Amino acid sequence: MSATHEHVIAKDLQSWIETPAGSDFPLQNIPFGIFRAPGRTPRACTRIGDTVVDLQVLAEAGLLAASGINKEAFHQATLNPMLAFGKAGVRRLRTTLCALLRDTNAELRDNTALRHNALVPLAQATMLLPVAIGDYTDFYSSREHATNVGTMFRGAENALMPNWLHLPVGYHGRSSSIVASGTPIRRPMGQMRPKPDEPPVFGASKQLDIELETAFITFGGKPLGQRITAAEAEDYIFGMVLFNDWSARDIQSWEYVPLGPFLGKNFGSSISPWVVTLDALEPFRAAGPAQDPQPLPYLQVPGPHGFNISLEATLQPKGGKESVICRTNFNYLYWSMAQQLAHHTVNGCNVRAGDLMASGTISGPAQDSFGSLLELTWRGTRPLKLRDGGERKFLEDGDTVVIRGHCGNNGLRIGFGEVRGEVLPAE
């Protein structure tokens, strides 16, 4: 254990469960998710390598009692009951699981019947939404992304709105259309005005896009009317997932003035199934971009609150080759998760266990680090070249988009797996 972060699992520990080289899920990760498998109802799990560990089975055998979490919480089809035990409970659970699954512990390893029941090959598991998402907020926290989009629509001199450098801009999205990785996304219908001097038309979006994002999931917050400070915000963050906020740019550009995104966003967003805790990411903590002007006091927090997470998006046409279209990093975000949550609650807004807060598109300074096709093709004026010789301005039916993310240094890799979705034709 780290001398200063006792909740961080030492990088030299190994599990008795086989872990392929370069896996996103070594013993040091211990993410949480919900799965189902033949003969099993949906339930809580973790993952080591390519093995799903059934937490319901372990709880029933009494092996998770040290966590202090009631065993009934592991029987549920969402992680929300587990989140009721807060960060301290989840830390105890990760410590308990680390001890149980490390290579020197024979308690589960040498119990053949119990081990066989508790371990499920990943190929036999279907991963589901990890939490019941009550509310969803999407921020707009990448300065590069905001500058690129502002330049396209308002010109370079007015790229950032006057408030952008003073607060984390965000809007409330639609939680009912957030789906698990692997769920297809149907091309949306809506109003557009392709010619500014003619009336709007109705039809299928012709400018379907991705937004490469991450998101964090909250524990239960404070009562309505009380705020979470920036200094304590991370105590209310359960963990992170990858997030693809699919966007219909032509619908969005016609509707967004004056109240912001609506139908151009709420038809579908995809999240990865494994929630990676901030404790697992602690070794990769980093200082984010310098903030100038200095934020107001309620948004100031000492120490680094970014994370060095490498992110990439790929596009694969139906029957074609997968092409990497973007490589970026979480640490480009101007506003940290702690600042986002502090701003979200500074007016007394309450958050609940399982609420989801997305980062907004994460773009870097180089063209190949832009996190959306809107930017990569500069609003369709510079088509993107694919490996199989094709081109894309925006997504076509049959395209599959995959977002992946991981951290790595000194031989330790902690990752998120992937979030994947295929575009289906409009109805």
Q: Are 317 and 399 in contact (CB under 8 A)?
A: yes
Cα atoms in the Cβ-side hemisphere of radius 13 Å centred on 168: 28
- Measured on CA atoms in the order 255, 260, 263, 265, is the torsion positive or negative? positive
pLDDT of residue 3: 36
310 and 388 housed in the same domain: yes
Task: Write the single-letter amino acid at 177.
Answer: S
Q: Are residues 240 and 386 in the same domain?
A: yes
Q: Is residue 148 part of a domain?
A: yes
* 48 and 183 within one domain: no
Partners of 42 in beta bridges: none
- 145 annotated active-site: yes
Six token digits for residue 274:
């494994």
Residue 376 domain-assigned? Answer: yes
Residue 45's CATH number: 2.30.30.230
Q: Tell me, yes or no, whether 144 and 105 share the same domain.
A: no
Residue 7 has what pLDDT?
82
* Domain end residue (candidates: 101, 128, 155): 128
Chain-centre distance for alpha carbon 136: 12
Q: Which of 100, 128, 156 is the last residue of a domain?
A: 128
Specify whether 81 is located in the same domain as 151. no
> Catalytic residue among 75, 116, 145, 172, which?
145
Residue 67 belongs to some domain of the structure: yes
Say if 352 falls within a structural domain. yes
Residues 59, 194 share a domain: no
Contacts of 128 (CB under 8 A, 6+ apart): 33, 34, 35, 36, 42, 77, 180, 273
Are residues 103 and 145 both part of a single domain? no
Q: Residues 176, 104: one domain?
A: no
CA separation for the pair 303, 163 (Å, rounded): 24
| Among candidate residues 110, 128, 146, the one where a domain is terminated | 128
Number of domains present in the structure of the chain: 2
Contact 310, 406 (CB under 8 A): yes
- Distance between CA atoms of 424 and 256, rounded to whole angstroms? 25
Q: Are residues 305 and 354 in the same domain?
A: yes
Specify if 5 maps to a domain. Answer: no
Neighbouring-strand partners of residue 275: 32
Q: What is the pLDDT along the chain (427 residues), one digit of tens a residue?
A: 333 467 899 999 999 999 999 999 999 999 999 999 999 999 999 999 999 999 999 999 999 999 999 999 999 999 999 999 999 999 999 999 999 999 999 999 999 999 999 999 999 999 999 999 999 999 999 999 999 999 999 999 999 999 999 999 999 999 999 999 999 999 999 999 999 999 999 999 999 999 999 999 999 999 999 999 999 999 999 999 999 999 999 999 999 999 999 999 999 999 999 999 999 999 999 999 999 999 999 999 989 999 999 999 999 999 999 999 999 999 999 999 999 999 999 999 999 999 999 999 999 999 999 999 999 999 999 999 999 999 999 999 999 999 999 999 999 999 999 999 999 999 9
Which residues neighbour 295 within 8 Å (Cβ) at sequence distance 6 or greater? 166, 167, 339
Residues 254 and 315 in one domain: yes
Rounded Cα distance between 196 and 101, Å, is 61
Distance separating alpha carbons of residues 347 and 64, to the nearest angstrom: 39
Whether residue 11 is contained in a domain is answered as no
Do 76 and 164 have their domain in common? no
Range of the domain at 84: 33-128
Same domain, 189 and 270: yes
Q: What is the CATH number of the domain that holds 182?
A: 3.90.850.10
Please check whether residue 3 lies inside any domain of the structure. no
Residue 17 resides in a domain: no
